[in-house]
Amino acid sequence: MGEEFSVRFSHFEVIGNFSSSYLYPEILLQGDQDFMLTEYPSRWSFSDGHLIVNEPFPSPLAVATLFGRDYDWD
């Protein structure tokens, strides 16, 4: 990896307002050579469009996103 992250979050929320009921949360942490996934549900939760983290991650946060999908457009 080219850059190293140094900011660590102990709590954050990602909230989305989607018309689709199909929502997919994703949290990626910085690994040694690549990104890595987090432990769910031990470190974060997702309910009603709210992705909530209440516990620090063992590695720096790289990406936190919510994806919405409308399967009618497939």
pLDDT in tens, 2-60: 666 666 778 889 998 888 889 999 999 988 889 998 877 788 899 988 999 888 888 88
**Cα–Cα distance for residue pair 12/9, rounded to 1 Å:** 7
> Is it true that the peptide bond before 41 is cis, omega within 30 degrees of 0?
yes
For position 52, what pLDDT does the model report? Answer: 92
Q: Is the pLDDT of residue 71 over 90?
A: yes
Model's pTM, two decimal places?
0.74
Beta-carbon neighbour count of residue 72 at 10 Å?
6
69, two tokens: 């999908």
For position 30, what pLDDT does the model report? Answer: 87
